[in-house]
């Protein structure tokens, strides 16, 4: 007998989830979100992003009270001093985190109780591209491999369907596989 | 009169940088790198990545002694409890960090002393896609806007050329704008 109320599954309040989906379906203008990061250079490969404000559901968020600070770096072989994960490692984390959360939400919606979600991601890069030594290799990863282990109280087939649906809906998986238009503007004073 | 030795510019050891570029040019097999992240789900939108090991320059790295831990989350409106930046915000950070480090390295190579590099990134998303309410909006950001402010001891034109070259060489900028093949495999036991 489970002591978890029906409205919470995998740590997700499913009553709130379905109410949110109904609301956004009825008022699509509430679906316009904007996320943001500001970054400043510290020294060498060390820079830091601050993340707090975002726009959601018709207004500027007021619920997030604290700032998140993320430090980036490079290891010695890429001329840094390991002040943080490097940017490509952060991209792997973003992808892992988004697929995982989407798996958890999809499972909650489908009444699948998960017991574990673990993943290992690898990205292969020929650094001649990013270092400007050769124009042939691309700058970024040639490929990313994601290996998930997902367990829960459902048949293997159902667990696999949850992961497939998560790939179809993950925001970062979409961006990393399909790309996003990026506009860069520069001020110098 | 500067007291910074010629071999350090913007916190980058340029002697080591040029030696690294020469070595990789001479032995391209040393340019094969692999970066990695492992992630495990904690509860709801909370999951954590661990980042440490990587393959570089013909062998497994032994210089990075500590693990990095990155916590992801979602704000309340996306059914989380703000246990960390959300995955899409991490992607903005990855992009900001990579462009910034690439600007700093390109400037060092071109003998430009930078005094500041700051950026603000925004990503616009219609969350009906990722939430599965509507198939029309894409899951990820429709667009990302990056606004840089770069200052240093060079003419505006030279600073702009540094940023343009950084866009041409940034690993994460390449991946986010062009996409990367991602292979996902799943185990359920």
Q: Kindly provide the ipTM of the predicted complex, given to two decimals.
A: 0.97
What are the tokens at A62? 């007021």
Phi first, then psi, for residue B169 (nearest 5°) are -120, -10
Test mutation, B93, B100, B154, chain A, max A CBs within 10 A: B93
Q: Which two tokens stand for residue B24?
A: 């990789």
| Set of chain B residues whose Cβ sits within 8 Å of the Cβ of A184 | 99, 146-148, 163, 167
Average pLDDT over residues B148-153: 98
Residues of chain A in contact with residue B10, where contact means CB-CB under 8 angstroms, are 43-44
Q: How confident is the model at residue B83 (pLDDT cuts 50, 70, 90)?
A: very high
pLDDT score recorded for residue A6: 66
Burial (CB count within 10 angstroms: exposed 0-12, middle 13-18, buried 19+), residue A19: exposed
The alpha carbon of A167 is separated from its chain's Cα centroid by a whole number of angstroms, namely 12
What residues have CB less than 8 Å from B158, skipping those under 6 apart? B110, B112
Q: What's the confidence (pLDDT) of residue B7?
A: 86
Chain B positions touching A141 (Cβ under 8 A) are 35, 171, 175, 180
Which of B94, B122, B159 faces A94 most closely, judged by CB atoms? Answer: B94
**% of chain B residues with pLDDT over 90:** 95
Angle ∠(A30,B46,A106) on CA atoms, nearest 5:
60
Question: Averaged in consecutive runs of 10 residues, what is the pLDDT profile of chain A (189 residues)?
Answer: 71 96 95 98 98 97 97 97 98 98 97 98 97 94 98 97 98 98 97
Contact residues on chain B for A50, CB-CB shorter than 8 A: none
- Determine, for residues A93 and B92 on separate chains, whether the beta-carbon distance falls below 8 Å: no
Residue B24 has pLDDT above 70, yes or no: yes
By C-alpha distance, which of B120, B87, B122, B150 is closest to A38?
Answer: B120
| Residue B71: Cβ within 10 Å count | 15
pLDDT of residue B189: 87
Select the residue of B39, B64, B146 nearest A82 (Cβ to Cβ): B64
Q: Which of A38, A117, A167 sits opposite B184 (nearest CB)?
A: A167
Q: Which chain B residues contact residue A175 at CB under 8 A?
A: 88, 91, 139-141, 176
Chain B residues whose beta carbon lies within 8 Å of the beta carbon of residue A172? 87-88, 90-91, 140
Contacts B33 to A, Cβ<8 Å: 124-127
The helix or strand, by DSSP H or E, that contains position B40, with its residue range, turns out to be strand B32-43
The alpha carbon of residue A107 is apart from the nearest alpha carbon of chain B, in Å, by: 11
Pairing of strands A8-9, A12-13: antiparallel
Task: Give the CA count within 13 Å in the CB-facing half-sphere of B37.
Answer: 25
pLDDT value, residue B5: 58
pLDDT at A121: 98
- Full-model pTM: 0.97
The pLDDT score that the predictor gives to residue B6 is: 66
Chains A–B, number of C-beta pairs less than 8 Å apart: 490
- Report the gap between the CA of B63 and the closest CA in chain A (Å): 7
| Residue ranges with strand state E in chain A | 8-9, 12-13, 32-43, 46-51, 55-56, 59-60, 68-72, 114-126, 143-152, 182-187
pLDDT value of residue A2: 52
HSE, CB side, 13 Å, CA atoms: give it for residue B186: 20
Radius of gyration of chain B (CA): 20
* CB contact set of A4 (below 8 Å; sequence gap of 6+): none
Question: Beta B12-13 vs B8-9: how paired, if at all?
Answer: antiparallel
Indicate yes or no: CB of B63 within 8 angstroms of CB of A46.
no
Say how far apart CA A144 and CA A89 lie, in whole Å.
11
DSSP H/E element including B58:
none
Q: How far is B61 from chain A (nearest CA, A)?
A: 9
* Chain-chain contact of B174 with A77 (C-beta, under 8 angstroms): no
Contact B176 A181 (CB under 8 A): no
Distance (Å) of CA B171 to CA A75, B19, B100, B134, B180: 15, 21, 11, 32, 11
Nearest 10 degrees: Cα torsion A37, A40, A45, A49: -30
Q: Is B95 in contact with A86 (CB distance < 8 Å)?
A: no
CA distance, residue B42 to nearest chain A CA (Å): 8
Among the partner residues A49, A76, A170, nearest to B63 by beta-carbon distance: A76
Q: Are A45 and A85 in contact (CB under 8 A)?
A: no
């Amino acid at each position: 007998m489970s002591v978890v109320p029906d409205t919470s599954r995998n740590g997700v309040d499913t009553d709130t989830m379905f109410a949110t989906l109904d609301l956004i379906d009825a008022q699509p203008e509430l679906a316009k979100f904007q996320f943001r990061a500001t970054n400043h250079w510290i020294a060498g490969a060390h820079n830091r992003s601050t993340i707090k404000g975002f726009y959601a559901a018709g207004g500027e968020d007021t619920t997030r009270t604290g700032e998140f600070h993320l430090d980036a770096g490079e290891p010695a072989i890429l001329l840094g001093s390991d002040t943080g994960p490097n940017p490509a490692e952060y991209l792997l984390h973003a992808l892992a985190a988004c697929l995982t959360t989407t798996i958890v939400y999809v499972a909650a919606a489908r009444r699948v109780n998960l017991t574990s979600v673990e993943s290992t991601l690898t990205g292969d890069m020929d650094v001649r591209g990013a270092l400007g030594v050769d124009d042939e290799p691309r700058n970024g990863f040639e490929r990313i491999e994601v290996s998930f282990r997902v367990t829960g109280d459902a048949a293997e087939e159902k667990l696999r369907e949850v992961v497939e649906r998560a790939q179809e809906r993950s925001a970062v998986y979409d961006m990393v596989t399909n790309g996003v238009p990026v506009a860069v503007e520069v001020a110098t004073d």
